[in-house]
Amino acid sequence: MFQSEFGLNAGGANELYISASHRLKGEDNLAQQVPNIVKRSQDKVTEEQYVSILSLMNKTGNLEGGLVADQVAMVDAFSNQYDFTRVTNSKWG
């Protein structure tokens, strides 16, 4: 998914996955961390990027049959950080 969504080769996708996994390791409640995660880039995110992020979050959560409560809470926490309309089919600009 990292390859197709971010246009990375296999090595780059693997590196991004490892980095993301390492940063999130040990977090009990990611939904509570979302405001801290997005604050540095929040004002730079375009509506198209926002839609793409939501789409990626939903695709990832649905890989194993559907979003569980913690994943829904994280998607909601992310979407609550922005004033964009909630849509789910776009690519990075």
The answer to whether residue 17 is domain-embedded is no
Residue 93 in domain: no
Angle in degrees, CA 53, 90, 69, rounded to 5: 40
Q: Is residue 75 part of a domain?
A: yes
Q: What is the DSSP string of 49-81?
A: HHHHHHHHHHHHHGGGTS--HHHHHHHHHHHTT
Using pLDDT thresholds of 50, 70 and 90, give the confidence band for residue 93: very low
Would you say residue 21 lies in a domain?
no
Q: Is residue 8 part of a domain?
A: no
1: in domain: no
Domain that includes residue 59, residue range: 28-79
Encode pLDDT of 3-54 as tens digits.
Answer: 888 788 999 988 988 888 887 777 778 899 899 889 989 999 999 999 988 9
Q: Is the dihedral of CA 71, 73, 78, 82 positive or negative?
A: positive
Give the number of domains in the chain.
1
Q: If you search the block for the tokens 């993301």, which residue do you land on? A: 20
Residue 38 placed within a domain: yes
Whole-prediction pTM value?
Answer: 0.72
